């Protein structure tokens, strides 16, 4: 009989989403190298990232809420390392600013382009520094937990694997549909 999902299920979901975010960010990093010619893929991957990142933030927020509400199971697991707990709110805010300014660059009138482009670039610089520390702090746990709901021998150890798989798949699917709708509007960022 599988254990209740609880802390372990939440950790698996957060790690699985983190692994997907990591792969998407690696692709996004490649597009930055030649942004003028790879603007469409940059926007496409950026939009796919939005629901995945929001789901990951929600999953991490759930752990935060349960821990600070005094849930015994989450209290036993304990909080993340102090540095990661302090960094977490900055990663979240910078992620929202970065993704939001990117969407604004695509969808808002061009009169806001200069300001949004500045915010997008500046938030990226701060975000990449904070995210590097965040990733290094969680990479071991993510590598260990992310595949567990997808492997036959470990998926049944903790209840709710199918629901977690669907949460991950749906966040990517919503991102793909949104990217297909939004990407055609990403024109003229670099025109004079």
Note whether 80 and 137 are within 8 A (CB).
yes
CA distance 5 to 177: 29
Read off the pLDDT of residues 53-103 as tens digits, 9 standing for 90 and up. 999 999 999 999 999 999 999 999 998 889 999 999 999 999 999 999 999
Its domain, for residue 123, covers 6-185
> Does residue 1 form part of some domain?
no
Q: How far is residue 127's CA from residue 133's CA, in Å, rounded to a whole number?
A: 10
Q: How many domains are contained in the chain?
A: 1
pLDDT above 80: residue 191: no
| Contacts of 177 by beta carbon, 8 Å cutoff, 6+ apart | none
Give the model's confidence band at 186: pLDDT under 50 very low, under 70 low, under 90 confident, else very high: confident
178 located within any domain: yes
Torsion angles phi and psi, residue 9, rounded to 5: -65, -45
pLDDT in tens, 133-146: 999 999 999 999 99
> Residue 4: its pLDDT value, please?
72
Domain membership of residue 12 (yes or no) is yes
Residue 103: both structure tokens together:
């969407």
- Is the CB of residue 9 less than 8 Å from the CB of residue 158? yes
Largest CA distance in the chain: 64
């Amino acid at each position: 009989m599988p254990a209740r999902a609880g802390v372990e299920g939440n950790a698996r979901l957060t790690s699985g989403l983190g692994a997907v975010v990591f792969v998407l960010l690696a692709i996004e990093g490649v597009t930055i190298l030649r942004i003028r010619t790879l603007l469409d893929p940059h926007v496409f991957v950026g939009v796919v990232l939005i629901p995945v990142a929001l789901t990951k933030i929600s999953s991490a927020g759930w752990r935060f809420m349960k821990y600070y509400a005094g849930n015994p199971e989450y209290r036993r697991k304990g909080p993340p390392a102090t540095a990661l707990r302090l960094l977490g709110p900055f990663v979240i805010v910078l992620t929202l600013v970065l993704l939001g300014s990117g969407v604004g660059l695509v969808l808002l009138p061009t009169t806001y382009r200069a300001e949004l482009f500045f915010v997008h670039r500046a938030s990226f610089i701060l975000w990449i520094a904070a995210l590097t520390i965040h990733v290094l702090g969680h990479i071991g746990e993510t590598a260990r937990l992310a595949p567990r709901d997808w492997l036959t021998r470990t998926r049944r150890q903790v209840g709710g694997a199918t629901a977690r798989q669907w949460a991950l798949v749906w966040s990517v699917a919503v991102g793909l549909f949104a990217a297909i709708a939004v990407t055609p509007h990403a024109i003229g960022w670099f025109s004079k």
